[in-house]
């Protein structure tokens, strides 16, 4: 048994001395069908309402005014199809594009309706955005639909583009708002809607799922057909959709029906409800809906078929809260495919979110993933559901025509029919507006801009091809989607892209590995039953706690404190025992602030910048215990780190080198 020196936690400092530790990377891929590339884990961060020009129109040139994070492009950075001098100064629209700075992060939402976006395109002239899609209200006293951010606000995303791969020729599959894009992401198909927000049986609006499929929804729409979840389950590939606020704030003890009312505060001080039902596409399908938002029975079942819901008359079908993704990642149980949807205050949607809140979510997610042993086989795809109606100068290739009363691209329709038999599904005019698309992975091409044509279903196609799932069928756009393959380099002798850690607040690249916990911010939230979202005290087994890893539950930074949060009075003493490939850590936690459930310990073993083993344990009755499972013994120099996370406070740690 190895004794770990007492952790002096008046300042949350961990001092560790131990030896004889054996750890190794454990393969957590649980798919029966083998991956056809080195990518065993695909993580899709699916944001909201962004056009390419709105986010990257002047890339890689930032204004760099005083008082804002600086961005300086590397020499040799490739150019993008962005806003030229002519488009900036003599635009064919009624207004010229103007730069938005960080003080204008939260804006109104523009008109991003199926017909409105087509009308803005005006037969491909791209000159009617001010008249057709401009938003209004208190946040937009004058039209800003033409305007854009640069690398002083979008610092994090621009830095990711510098280090990994980005596309400047990727499009929404169809015109229209969020639900259209979300359905296309998972099925390539918006036809087959039972009711609500549709044209000729095709979804063109934002109807909620049926209340029969989602307790927290208010709509009546049910989708027929298959989605990628059905394909993944059939091939025994673990998967899940993880969304902020999916964990119920309360459950009716009589009916078993859930309520989802947790909320957070965005950077503008507005309180925003976390869960948006029409952003959760799998809830429209009876085969994949988690009707009562039932939590997984254990961390080991996240991503798998889960019988936990049988007591309430349904099966838990791969729909989870974001805290369950944190649990899966921390426990070495990362699914093969994970779709991440931020809580509404961090999802980038104008009016309720913004680029700064989005940046915090993206940075913390990537920082955590890059510290996982699974990073070496992971690809993160950052994509968006629709353009919000923001100006983009590039006319999209129209690969699918439609002739409904809602189609206005040519004034009265969306072009001549491509199916002369008349059997093509209507209401699917596309491709729609151009949007950002980034791939962040060790296998991503570095500082690379892809110009090949792709769309939202290209993400679906990559997943299908990587696990040999086959196609959705029934006129799904996956059959015609362009490949994401040009954004990767899978050559055996290719130089892997190094990790890039981002400061969640500024988006700047950090020189040291950041903590994956809160780091000094305190979320403002309504409190659901079962825990406080984002308070850093979620359960280690992904059980019933409503809390979550602060990387996904973090809220508005606390201000006016002067000297930061008060340091809790906590002392931790730990001992380790090694039995073959299992390392057991047992800790005693004392001090007046060491309350059950409010304190958690994170255990991590590192070799250089690589995390080779990690886990987490919540303190219960003055004790915390954890087991680090490894595949085989490693030898050489390592670092053992124990960090303390206390509710409402920052966490920190120190570490000591080990020779094993």
| Beta strands, E only, 429-581 | 434-440, 448-450, 454-455, 571-579
Q: How many CB atoms lie within 10 A of CB 89?
A: 10
My answer on whether 94 and 133 are in the same domain is yes
3-state class (DSSP) for residue 54: helix
Instruction: State the total domains in the chain.
Output: 2
**Residue that finishes a domain, picked among 548, 582, 608:** 548
Tell me the C-alpha distance between 571 and 618, whole Å: 15
| pLDDT value, residue 236 | 93
Q: What are residue 241's phi and psi, to 5 degrees?
A: -105, 125
Contacts of 84 (CB under 8 A, 6+ apart): none
- Asked whether residue 519 falls in the same domain as residue 598, the answer is no
**Tens-digit pLDDT profile for residues 297-320:** 888 999 998 765 544 445 678 999
Asked if residue 537 has pLDDT above 70, the reply is no
Decide if pLDDT at 472 tops 80: yes
Q: Are residues 342 and 428 in the same domain?
A: yes
CATH number, domain with residue 144: 3.40.720.10
DSSP 622: T
81: tokens are 């199809």
Same domain, 469 and 591: no
Contact between residue 239 and residue 335 where contact means Cβ atoms under 8 Å apart: yes
Q: What is the pLDDT of residues 174-184, one digit of tens each?
A: 999 999 999 99
Q: What is the pLDDT of residues 28-53, one digit of tens each?
A: 334 467 899 999 999 999 999 999 99
Interatomic CA distance for residues 298 and 308, integer angstroms: 9
And the tokens for 588? 């005693």
Token reading at 111: 């008109």
The per-residue pLDDT for 312 is 46
Sign of the four-CA dihedral 463, 346, 245, 384:
negative
349: confidence class by pLDDT, cuts 50, 70, 90: very high
Of 548, 575, 592, which marks where a domain is finished? 548
Q: How does residue 606 score in pLDDT terms, banded at 50, 70 and 90?
A: low
% of the chain beyond a pLDDT of 70: 78
State the SS3 of 277-344.
HHHCHHHHCCCCCCCCCCCCCCHHHCCCCEHHHHHHCCCECCEEEHHHHHHHHHCCCCCCEEEEECCH
Q: Are residues 385 and 452 in the same domain?
A: yes
Q: What is the mean pLDDT of residues 470-495?
A: 95
Please report the pLDDT score of residue 643 as a whole number. Answer: 74
Beta carbons of 427 and 191 less than 8 angstroms apart:
yes
Closest CA to 437 of 385, 481, 389, 361: 385
- Residues 6 or more apart from 83 whose CB is under 8 A from it? 53, 57, 58, 97, 148, 393
CB-based contact 460:187 (threshold 8 Å): yes
Q: How far apart are CA 220 and CA 338, in angstroms?
A: 26
pTM over the 0.85 mark:
no
For 446, the 3-state DSSP assignment is coil
Taking residues 476-482, report their average pLDDT.
Answer: 97
CATH classification of the domain holding 600: 2.60.40.1930
What is the spatial distance between Cα 296 and Cα 326, in angstroms, rounded to a whole number?
A: 13
Per-residue confidence (pLDDT) for residue 397, from 0 to 100 = 96
Q: Flag whether pLDDT at 523 surpasses 50.
A: no
Can you give the pLDDT at residue 630?
Answer: 64
Mean of the per-residue pLDDT values of the chain: 83
Domain boundary among 548, 566, 591: 548
Whether pLDDT at 636 is above 90: no
Looking at the fold, whether 496 and 620 belong to one and the same domain comes out as no
Residue 542 in this model has a pLDDT that exceeds 60: no
Residue 466 has pLDDT above 60, yes or no: yes
What's the mean pLDDT in 139-145? Answer: 96
Q: What is the pLDDT of residue 609?
A: 53
Residues 561 and 510 in one domain: no
Query: Does 641 have pLDDT greater than 80?
Result: no
- Which pLDDT value is given to residue 305? 84
pLDDT digits (tens, 9 = 90+) for 543-556: 333 333 334 544 33
Which carries the bigger pLDDT value, residue 363 or residue 630?
363
More confident site: 599 or 384: 384
Whether residues 520 and 584 share a domain: the answer is no
Per-residue confidence (pLDDT) for residue 559, from 0 to 100: 35
Pair (527, 571) in one structural domain: no
The pLDDT assigned to 592 comes to 75
Q: Which of 416-420, 428-432, 435-439 has the lowest mean pLDDT?
A: 416-420
Short-list 530, 647, 43, CA closest to 246: 530
Output the pLDDT for position 638. 66
- Looking at the fold, whether 402 and 477 belong to one and the same domain comes out as yes
| pLDDT range class, residue 565, cuts 50, 70, 90 | very low
Backbone dihedral angles phi then psi of residue 47, each to the nearest 5 degrees = -90, -170
- Pick the residue with more confidence: 420 or 623? 623
Is there a contact between 257 and 250 (Cβ–Cβ < 8 Å)?
Answer: no
Q: What is the pLDDT of residue 23?
A: 27
Verify cis geometry, omega within 30 degrees of 0, for the bond prior to 534: no
Average pLDDT over residues 586-593: 79
Of 160-174, 411-425, 496-510, 620-634, which gets the smallest average pLDDT? 620-634
Same domain as 192, residue 288: yes
Of 204-213, 246-255, 439-448, 650-659, least confident by mean pLDDT is 650-659
DSSP string covering 566-593: PPP--EEEEEEEEETTEEEEEEEEESTT
Domain that holds residue 236: 25-548
Is the pLDDT score of 473 beyond 70?
yes
Q: What are phi and psi of 312, to 5 degrees?
A: -110, 20
Least confident of 185-189, 448-452, 489-493: 489-493
| 3-state SS track over 164-194 | CEEEEEEECCCCCCHHHHHHHHHHCCCECEC
173: left (phi over 0), alpha (psi -120 to 50) or beta: alpha
The answer to whether residues 348 and 199 belong to one domain is yes
């Amino acid at each position: 048994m190895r004794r770990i020196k007492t952790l002096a936690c008046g300042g949350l400092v961990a001092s560790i001395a131990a030896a004889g530790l054996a750890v190794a990377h454990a393969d957590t891929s649980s798919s029966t069908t083998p991956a056809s590339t080195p990518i065993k884990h695909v993580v899709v961060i699916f944001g909201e309402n962004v056009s390419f020009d709105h986010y990257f129109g002047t890339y890689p040139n930032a204004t760099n005014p005083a008082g804002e994070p600086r961005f300086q492009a590397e020499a040799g950075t490739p150019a993008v199809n962005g806003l030229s001098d002519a488009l900036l100064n003599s635009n064919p629209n009624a207004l010229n594009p103007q730069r938005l700075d960080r003080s204008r992060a939260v804006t109104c939402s523009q008109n991003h309706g199926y017909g409105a976006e087509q009308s803005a395109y005006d037969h491909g002239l791209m000159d009617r955005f001010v008249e057709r899609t401009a938003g209004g209200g208190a946040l937009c006293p004058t039209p800003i639909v033409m305007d854009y951010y640069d690398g002083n606000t979008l610092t994090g995303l621009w830095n990711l583009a510098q280090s990994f791969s980005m596309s400047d020729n990727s499009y929404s599959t169809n015109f229209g708002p969020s639900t259209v894009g979300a359905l296309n992401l998972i099925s390539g198909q918006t036809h087959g809607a039972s009711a609500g927000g549709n044209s000729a049986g095709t979804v063109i609006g934002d109807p909620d799922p049926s209340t029969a499929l989602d307790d927290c929804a208010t709509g009546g729409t049910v989708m027929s057909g298959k989605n990628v979840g059905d394909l993944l389950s059939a091939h025994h590939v673990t998967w899940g959709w993880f969304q902020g606020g999916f964990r119920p704030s309360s459950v009716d003890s009589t009916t078993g029906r859930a309520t989802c009312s947790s909320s957070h505060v965005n950077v503008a001080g507005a309180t925003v409800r976390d869960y948006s039902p029409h952003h959760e596409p799998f809830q429209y399908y009876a085969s994949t809906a988690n009707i009562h938002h039932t939590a997984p029975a254990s961390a080991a079942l996240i991503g798998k078929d889960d019988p936990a819901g049988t007591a309430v008359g349904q099966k838990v079908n791969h729909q989870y809260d974001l805290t369950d993704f944190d649990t899966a990642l921390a426990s070495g149980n990362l699914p093969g495919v994970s779709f991440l949807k931020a809580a509404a205050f961090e999802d980038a949607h104008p009016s309720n979110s913004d680029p700064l809140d989005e940046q915090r979510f993206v940075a913390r997610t990537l920082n955590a993933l890059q510290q996982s042993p699974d990073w070496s086989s992971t690809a993160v795809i950052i994509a968006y559901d629709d353009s919000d109606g923001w100006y983009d100068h590039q006319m999209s290739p129209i690969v699918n025509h439609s002739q409904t009363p809602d189609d206005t691209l040519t004034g009265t329709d969306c072009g001549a029919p491509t199916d002369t038999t008349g059997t093509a599904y209507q209401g699917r005019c596309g491709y729609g507006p151009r949007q950002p698309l980034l791939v962040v992975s060790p296998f991503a091409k570095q500082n690379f801009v892809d110009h090949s044509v792709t769309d939202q279903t290209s993400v679906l196609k990559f997943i299908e091809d990587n696990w040999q799932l086959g196609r959705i069928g029934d006129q799904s756009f996956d059959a015609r989607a362009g490949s994401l393959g040009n954004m990767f380099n899978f050559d055996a002798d290719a130089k892997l892209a190094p990790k890039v850690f981002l400061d969640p607040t500024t988006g700047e690249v950090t020189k040291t590995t950041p903590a994956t916990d809160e780091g000094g911010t305190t979320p403002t939230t309504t409190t659901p039953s079962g825990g406080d979202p984002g308070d850093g005290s979620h359960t280690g087994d992904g059980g019933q706690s409503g809390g979550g890893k602060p990387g996904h539950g973090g809220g508005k930074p606390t201000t006016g404190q002067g000297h930061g949060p008060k340091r809790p009075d906590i002392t931790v003493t730990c001992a380790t025992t090694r039995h073959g490939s299992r390392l057991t850590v047992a800790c005693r936690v004392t001090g007046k602030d060491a309350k059950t459930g409010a304190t958690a310990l994170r255990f991590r073993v590192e070799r250089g910048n690589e995390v080779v083993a990690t886990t987490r344990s919540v303190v219960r009755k003055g004790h915390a215990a954890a087991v680090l499972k490894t595949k085989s013994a490693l030898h050489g120099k390592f670092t053992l780190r124990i960090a303390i996370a206390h509710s409402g406070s920052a966490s920190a740690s120190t570490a000591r080198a080990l020779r094993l």
